[in-house]
Structure 1
Amino acid sequence: MKLFDFTLHLNGFPLAKAKQVLNTIQDKNEVEFESYLLQKKQDILTHHLAHNSFYKQLGQHININDWNTVPVMTKRDLQQPLALRLSDGFTPKNVYINKTSGSSGDPFVFAKDKFCHALTWAEIQNRFGWYGIDFNSSLQARFYGIPLDKIGYYKERFKDKLSNRYRFSIFDLSDTALANYLDLFKSKPFDYINGYTSAIVQFAKYLKDKGLILKTICPTLKCCVVTSEMLFPDDKKLLEQQFGVPVINEYGASELDLIAFQNPDDVWQVNSDTLFVEILNEKNQPVPNGEEGRVVITSLYNTAHPFIRYNLGDIGILSKTSTLQKPVLEKLVGRTNDMAILPSGTRAAGLTFYYITKAIIEDDGNVKEFIITQKTRSEFKIDFVGKSEISETKQQAIISEMKRYLEDGLIITFEKHDALKRSKSGKLKQFKSLVSQ
């Protein structure tokens, strides 16, 4: 019995129909696809202008024949009661409702109509299928957060059971906990790993310390899919080395869909089936492929709630090889609110600090993980988990690299911890600024 599919069907999500529609979309040639995309953009825009009072107000100056007149939506636009944002005919009782993690600082509740949510799962199943993963039969090792209250905890465990997955709590990444995780890989026939990058990287570091390759311990393992946090090239190399299976980079947003998924040719393929992804400049105009800009996305099928030219809060680059039917995400730079403002007034991506520090302090295996906080324009604090303090030599090397890549006069302090504080969802935010943007 296909329990995963049946559970979606039982909850009113028409997965079979969604799979048929997805197959039809993917069977189109380039000319047919261009017409399809143009029509779907027009359809979803017209629908919400006619049937959604919230969007009608937001888009009152739209020229229906000029896509560039469509306003860019932000998360703050959506921070009002859900009932005020639903389209005609939809209520909280006949839609799928969830909430964003709030990692961007602007959490909100959102909705999808049931067909749109089914299509999301059809797309996800399709992409995982590239690697021989079937949600109805493949056992998942799930590295995610889990609610700590009793009701929430058992609710997630029950959902995990229905979804054929075993959840590893990422709130405890001590050696004792990781040893227990390893024992489970010895006893359970896991097909794939899926979860937050930082926690999975910690497990790989533990395996490296023990001189172990996970595939030899769990021969059924086929692949590892990381999501929600940045995957750096050296971390990907570590994961592939210690797991012995392909490591796939996933980019998604709960309020939208799967946005990009690394295909078997090692290309970060954007979902053009159910989404229209644009890269825009500060004036909300499209930039040429190959240039950096804000990731702005239109959900082509969500008739219950408008996500039209929705600014996700990320900065990215589409490859010059991209086409309308097969866009390729060349690079995901980071979040627009993860920027540092330096004493000179210069703005720098927060991950620049993280990347410089990472290159210096992780080479000897002392530091397990760390986060960087900008306290003032010139002061930065590095909180880390490690076996011992960071040496004076390495501290000076970090300060020197900051000066070389950024500017002089930056003050860096270090503090060792037994564990780092993760968000409620379990994510580890690598950089945050306390300086007003």
Structure 2
Amino acid sequence: MNRFKKILSLKGFPIKKAQKEFESILEISDADFPNYDEKRRERILDFHLKSNSNYSKFIQQTHYNSWDEIPVMTKADLQKPLGERLSKGFKKSKVFVNKTSGSSGHPFIFAKDKYAHALTWAHIIWLYQQHGIDVNSSFEARFYGIPKDVVGYKKERLKDLLANRHRFDIFDLSENNLHKFLKLFQEKPFDYINGYTSSIVLFAKFLREQQTVLSSVCPSLKVCITTSEMLFDEDRKLLENQLGIPVVNEYGASELDVIAFENPRGEWQINTKTIYVEIVDADGYALPYGEEGDVVITSLYNKAHPFIRYQIGDRGVIDEKSTPKTQILKSLTGRTNEFVILPSGKKVPALSFYYVTKSVIEDSGQVKEIKIVQEDLTKFVIQYKATGELEESQKQKMTKAIETYLEKGLTIVFERKDELERSESGKLKQFTSRLDS
């Protein structure tokens, strides 16, 4: 067993067993897959109906004539204390617990049982292997955020060390810092880039200004994996030109798994191994391939916490040439890449607000939705929907976090609202800048 798998095992994730089951899933024939998939859905639904009282209350009925009739869950349905949402026999101390990024404006804490999380890793290991990346030995250039509190920071740096990756500081994408990024690529033999689309695109624009192709100064680079935000065609061309390597687009959700990942043929292949993906209409009925609707996902192995017909907040289309086992995501609507522009001239990704809002995302589930509006260079309005007013201590905590992750001297205004404004598509955008207007 290699180092990476050994670390997972030591942390209680049965990766060896998970990989064995994952390999058996790969072997299911196209002809047998529909029946196999239906049985997995029935099995996880039956488990949560019997073992999860919160889900039983939500679903209300115990029998449905078809899968389409099962109610669609939203993130708002899950914003209550985690202890109330766990299935019988599972404790918070014995499961994988994490927070969603809140990039959609609906932050909440979730749980996965350790076997389900191990299956997620088995899937990721397999996906990366398709592009010549070994998660155990390949050296990663990581364009992600990092907590700035001492304990959280040291914990992430230790994880980076054990996972053989270097994390770039995307909270400061000034020209001076981008020069430092380039110098690191000249000095270190990175195998691949992985991170937020917007940050990597900004770095590529810097490379274009420097008239530099990254692979010419870092010839060990093989591939770039973009995630968390939309990758537009124009940005893809920029990345391919300035990085000098293939670009692989990932679509995922921390509470679930990778949802779709570009295969070596350039197709955005949907994960049919550990989740069940549907495109549904406004009434929750599955649409035919080729039609656009809401993305709804069922986690097929997570027994600790139900995600059954869970609406992720995006809209998409499954390609007409898809089959039950091999589905291709034709298009996706959602997740735009934006930056916060500060008085000092510093640019930070809008996703930085994940680390700001995290400071008030409590297990109580008090805060239901958050939206940040930049009114001008110095003024930020934090709009929130909650069961009660934020306490002064919570506001101070968030203000301090903004000073830590962005900069000092900003005007922060808090507004509690009954409902937050949404786009025409109904999507809640966590960050909106009014600088252009």
Same-fold call, TM cutoff 0.5: yes
- For the aligned pair, the TM-score class normalised by the smaller chain equals 0.7 to 0.9
Which residue identity does 1:287 align to in structure 2? L
Distance 1:265 1:431, change over 3 A: farther
The normalised TM-score by structure 1 is: 0.79
Match of 1:310 in 2: 310
Shift of 1:210: 0.8
Structure 1 stretches of 4+ with a deviation exceeding 6 A read: 429-435
1:289 aligns with 2:289: yes
Match of 1:264 in 2: 264
Q: Is the 8 A contact 1:249 1:268 kept in 2?
A: yes
Shift of 1:418: 4.0
Please, which runs of 5 or more residues in structure 1 have no aligned partner? 336-350, 352-368, 372-382, 386-414
Q: How does 1:17-166 map to 2 (within 5 A)?
A: 17-166=17-166
Q: Distance in 2 between matches of 1:89 and 1:199?
A: 41
Superposed CA RMSD = 2.2
Distance 1:278 1:249, change over 3 A: same
Match of 1:202 in 2: 202
Shift of 1:215: 0.8
Match of 1:419 in 2: 347
Q: Distance in 1 between matches of 2:355 and 2:193?
A: 16
Which residue identity does 1:20 align to in structure 2? K
List per-residue Cα deviations over 1:133-187 (Å, max 9, x = no partner). Answer: 0111000000001111111111100010111110001011111111111111111
Q: Distance in 1 between matches of 2:165 and 2:297?
A: 30
Q: Distance in 2 between matches of 1:48 and 1:246?
A: 41
Query: Aligned to 1:424, what secondary structure does the other structure show?
Result: helix
Distance 1:214 1:426, change over 3 A: farther
Shift of 1:288: 1.5
Q: Is the 8 A contact 2:140 2:164 kept in 1?
A: yes
Q: Distance in 1 between matches of 2:151 and 2:99?
A: 18
Q: Is the 8 A contact 1:63 1:69 kept in 2?
A: no
Match of 2:218 in 1: 218
Match of 2:328 in 1: 328
1:11 aligns with 2:11: yes
Q: How many percent identity over aligned positions?
A: 51
Please, which runs of 5 or more residues in structure 2 have no aligned partner? 357-369, 375-382, 384-419, 423-437
Shift of 1:62: 4.6
Distance 1:60 1:142, change over 3 A: same
Q: Is the 8 A contact 1:207 1:242 kept in 2?
A: yes
Tell which has more relative contact order, 1 or 2 (C-alpha 8 A, sep 6+). 2
Q: Distance in 2 between matches of 1:370 and 1:77?
A: 28
The normalised TM-score by structure 2 is: 0.79
Q: Distance in 2 between matches of 1:161 and 1:2?
A: 15
Shift of 1:426: 6.9
Q: Distance in 2 between matches of 1:214 and 1:77?
A: 45
Q: How does 1:155-194 map to 2 (within 5 A)?
A: 155-194=155-194
Query: Aligned to 1:93, what secondary structure does the other structure show?
Result: helix
List per-residue Cα deviations over 1:90-111 (Å, max 9, x = no partner). Answer: 0001111001011111111110
Shift of 1:283: 1.1
List per-residue Cα deviations over 1:199-257 (Å, max 9, x = no partner). Answer: 00011111111111111111110000000011000000000011111000000000000
Q: Distance in 2 between matches of 1:160 and 1:68?
A: 42
Which residue identity does 1:132 align to in structure 2? G
Query: Aligned to 2:93, what secondary structure does the other structure show?
Result: coil
Which residue identity does 1:282 align to in structure 2? A
Q: Distance in 2 between matches of 1:209 and 1:306?
A: 48
Shift of 1:436: 2.7
Q: Distance in 2 between matches of 1:260 and 1:210?
A: 33
Which residue identity does 1:154 align to in structure 2? K
List per-residue Cα deviations over 1:321-361 (Å, max 9, x = no partner). Answer: 111101110011116xxxxxxxxxxxxxxx6xxxxxxxxxx
Q: Distance in 2 between matches of 1:118 and 1:57?
A: 29
